[in-house]
Structure 1
């Protein structure tokens, strides 16, 4: 039995489609089918039920799958151990982030990691709001996430990495566009563009809380899960929004950022991870993060 046979089997078992599995493995479909048949011949039982329209695991295939996962995982551990023995940090890390909100922090971390530890493979997952990040960290589908703080009570660990004031973004031809500072109450009758409510977005939560503290609830006419698209819709004249001060650096043409008058609401940016995650790569990344994204005083 060869490792590539198991890799082919797992790909087909997960995709249940030889064409998609072949694309995933960067090979043609015919050699993939031959590889799977070699594994079936070696084991002595069929692993898939095939017809012209579908592919399904047999009982033997379902029994083999968890063992195939473990075999491939053990092989990866062996590779990492071999690299570690010569001082190389080797492995994979999945990082979740929201989007444009993290444009000051995410690149700082990833640039240093790629320079110092080129054998760490980073998988970056965008449009992951805080609520989703918490769930995925607990499930183990994310290793590290950029989140808004504070988090609701959870078994996760987190650390503050930045604190940014919220400001208003208005169309360039808005009557308040030339204001030096803006009283938030002046926006009570405006149409707002915001992150979707109930999805766990810290930007949406902080925006709503700030408006309520100013004596009104924002009248949201458009919800959108991409922070940069919020800026784009403001530039298009659809409405106004509240965003972190750092996003003023990436405004599209047609939108203006106006700081808010005191008392200013703040977004508190953080990193979160699960303390039960056994990844040695995560510990290395957290050490780098503490250096390049220190907790503000």
Structure 2
């Protein structure tokens, strides 16, 4: 059944007069009458009764009015949705992340975008590490990802969204746990817990580099898969770690987080996407994002 027949039927049903309906549809009366006849033949029933003052809907015609209006509304909604999608204001964006830090940053990023594009549906995908996030972005499995810098993957664009200084995470019973700040030099005899040394572990690389800059190689006694696991081990008293500011919400009852006196050690967090991605939706979302500041 052609939608134009239903559209013509609805106009005739509203006017109950072929002449007035034909004027609204900008067609002559005979073609309109033929359309109604064609619709009645397709449905196998009479939709209108001819009366002296015009037309009257039959019970079948009244039923069709209800259903045809539903069809028209669905089509109108579909047209509106396509229009919004074409303008980049409606659709789904798949965002990947790994680690604990994006759980602090992503809500703020979503809120920034929500103000201008409330119809964007964000779907988030947790990966084991940043390398897998970058791989998913590069091959198009996800639209964008949140990763720690630096990155070396070719064909990837990036936008800085936050900077996080290194901080010391200690068990509450540690001798240094109640200091207002700590110099990294004071940690040379400590037992450290950190990420596994897989390729691309940015936090581990920055941590080790900071220790070596201070004149010592860190004594790493345990390794773990992620920040949550590391901090559980710290809370249990197995050692200390260098974490990132804004993660102080993890294990706050059993861990004290102390700023480093050296402020030059930090990690940048960025949102990344595939170069040449044609998505207007992604472009609009990225345009709303401004860097988030966590440092005082």
Instruction: Check conservation: 1:165, 1:265, Cα contact below 8 A.
Output: yes
* Structure 1 counterpart of 2:281: 281
Instruction: Check conservation: 2:92, 2:122, Cα contact below 8 A.
Output: yes
* Structure 1 counterpart of 2:197: 197
Q: Does 1:223 align with 2:223?
A: yes
- Partners of 2:205 and 2:221 in 1: how far apart? 16
Could you tell me how far 1:116 is from its partner in structure 2? 4.7
Could you tell me how far 1:225 is from its partner in structure 2? 2.7
* Structure 1 counterpart of 2:268: 268
If the length of structure 2 is used for normalisation, what is the TM-score?
Answer: 0.65
If the length of structure 1 is used for normalisation, what is the TM-score?
Answer: 0.64
Instruction: Give the stretch that moved more between structures: 158-167 or 110-119.
Output: 110-119
Distance 1:119 1:236, change over 3 A: same
Distance 1:94 1:128, change over 3 A: farther
- Partners of 1:80 and 1:243 in 2: how far apart? 47
Matches within 5 A, 1:46-125: 82-84=82-84, 89-114=89-114, 116-125=116-125
Gaps of 5+ in 1: 1-77
Could you tell me how far 1:287 is from its partner in structure 2? 1.2
What is the DSSP-based 3-state SS (H/G/I as helix, E as strand, rest coil) of the residue aligned with 2:286?
A: helix
- Partners of 1:127 and 1:212 in 2: how far apart? 30
* Structure 2 counterpart of 1:146: 146
* Structure 2 counterpart of 1:171: 171
Distance 1:123 1:189, change over 3 A: same
Distance 1:138 1:115, change over 3 A: same
Could you tell me how far 1:283 is from its partner in structure 2? 0.8
What is the DSSP-based 3-state SS (H/G/I as helix, E as strand, rest coil) of the residue aligned with 1:223?
A: strand
Instruction: Check conservation: 1:88, 1:119, Cα contact below 8 A.
Output: no
Instruction: Check conservation: 1:207, 1:242, Cα contact below 8 A.
Output: yes
* Structure 2 counterpart of 1:206: 206
- Partners of 2:258 and 2:96 in 1: how far apart? 29
Distance 1:86 1:102, change over 3 A: closer
RMSD (Å), alpha carbons: 2.8
What is the DSSP-based 3-state SS (H/G/I as helix, E as strand, rest coil) of the residue aligned with 2:278?
A: coil
Could you tell me how far 1:199 is from its partner in structure 2? 3.9
Gaps of 5+ in 2: 1-77
* Structure 1 counterpart of 2:18: none
* Structure 2 counterpart of 1:252: 252
Could you tell me how far 1:289 is from its partner in structure 2? 1.6
- Partners of 1:186 and 1:79 in 2: how far apart? 65
Matches within 5 A, 1:227-242: 227-242=227-242
Query: Which string of whole-angstrom CA distances, capped at 9 and with x for unpartnered residues, describes residues 159-202 of structure 1?
Result: 22222210110100011112222121322232222122124122
- Partners of 1:252 and 1:147 in 2: how far apart? 25
What is the DSSP-based 3-state SS (H/G/I as helix, E as strand, rest coil) of the residue aligned with 2:101?
A: helix
Instruction: Check conservation: 2:167, 2:243, Cα contact below 8 A.
Output: yes
- Partners of 1:148 and 1:80 in 2: how far apart? 38
Distance 1:126 1:220, change over 3 A: farther
Could you tell me how far 1:95 is from its partner in structure 2? 1.0
